[in-house]
């Protein structure tokens, strides 16, 4: 059977762990060449080296996505090595402490916006011209269910993820006639390091164990559980696939029904 991403160049930010690391593995299994980045150089090297050992072609760089020079250099190196970027998975993101808005700082605000929103903007700024040269491309910005609804005690994270949804729709409108599709993925709670950290915080404040905190978090989801990361990354593969050629400007919730109620 033909592989959907055979010889396609897929750029993935936040590739050292969580959705990004799994996406690197699953896109590679579909034949992709990879451009990977993260701020965590040691973990990124582990991911990249494991893929290279399987014969996957990988360009990897330590990149802070809020730094324009670093993003431009990374995209340039991918293009120099592979010729272009066919798919951009703009996944890098961070959370903040779970607490009411009035207890957060302006530094918290700046950090959320710089990494989660500005980072997506910068990646698209340098991905889109390459895609325009070839008349095709697919970009998937990873937001969150918190980018679709209010998310108490995660106000700044939610604000930044709402910004990701908005800039995605604008970029989709601008590029629809150029053969470039731009969508955003909005997962809810998943078994990733970010949610694990949240469970530890929630549990610590409520006197719950990590396992009890996960049960509490899962109880907020109509399906009664958090997602497996594979469920989210399978959606990435489908959204960016060539056969999904008429979807653009959409915010797709993979959330167990959380945003339906």
Alpha-helical (H) ranges within 94-206 are 106-112, 119-134, 155-175, 193-206
Q: Beta strand 87-90 with 9-12: parallel, antiparallel or unpaired?
A: parallel
Q: Residue 166, CB half-sphere, CA atoms under 13 Å: how many?
A: 9
Please state whether beta strands 58-62 and 87-90 pair in parallel, antiparallel, or not at all (unpaired).
unpaired
Q: Is 126 a catalytic residue?
A: no
Kind of pairing between the strands at 87-90 and 137-142 = parallel
Which one is catalytic: 157, 171, 203, 248?
157
Angle at 30 between CA 27 and CA 35, to 5 degrees: 35
Could you give the 3-state DSSP secondary structure of residue 161?
helix
What is the arrangement of strands in the sheet containing 87-90, beginning at the earlier edge strand? 58-62, 33-38, 9-12, 87-90, 137-142, 180-187, 251-254
**Catalytic site positions:** 157
């Amino acid at each position: 059977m033909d592989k959907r991403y055979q010889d396609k160049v897929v750029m993935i930010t936040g590739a050292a762990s969580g959705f990004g690391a799994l996406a690197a593995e699953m896109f590679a299994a579909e034949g992709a060449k990879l451009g990977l980045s993260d701020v965590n150089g040691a973990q990124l090297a582990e991911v990249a080296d494991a893929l290279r050992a399987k014969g996957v072609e990988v360009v990897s760089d330590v990149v802070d996505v809020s730094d324009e020079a670093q993003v431009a250099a990374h995209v340039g190196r991918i293009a120099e090595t592979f010729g272009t970027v066919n798919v951009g998975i703009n996944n890098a993101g961070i959370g903040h402490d779970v607490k009411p808005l009035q207890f957060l700082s302006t530094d918290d605000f700046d950090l959320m916006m710089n990494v989660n929103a500005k980072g997506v903007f910068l990646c698209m700024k340098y991905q889109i011209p390459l895609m325009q040269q070839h008349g095709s491309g697919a970009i998937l910005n990873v937001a969150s269910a918190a980018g679709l609804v209010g998310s108490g005690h995660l106000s700044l994270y939610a604000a930044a993820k709402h910004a990701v949804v908005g800039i995605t729709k604008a970029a989709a409108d601008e590029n629809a006639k150029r053969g470039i599709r731009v969508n955003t993925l909005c997962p809810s709670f998943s078994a990733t390091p970010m949610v694990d950290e949240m469970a530890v915080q929630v549990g610590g404040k409520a006197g719950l164990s990590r396992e009890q905190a996960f049960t509490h978090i899962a109880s907020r989801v109509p399906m009664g559980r958090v997602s497996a990361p594979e469920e989210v990354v399978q959606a990435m593969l489908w959204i960016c696939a060539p056969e999904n050629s008429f979807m653009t400007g959409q915010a797709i919730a993979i959330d167990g029904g959380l945003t339906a109620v």
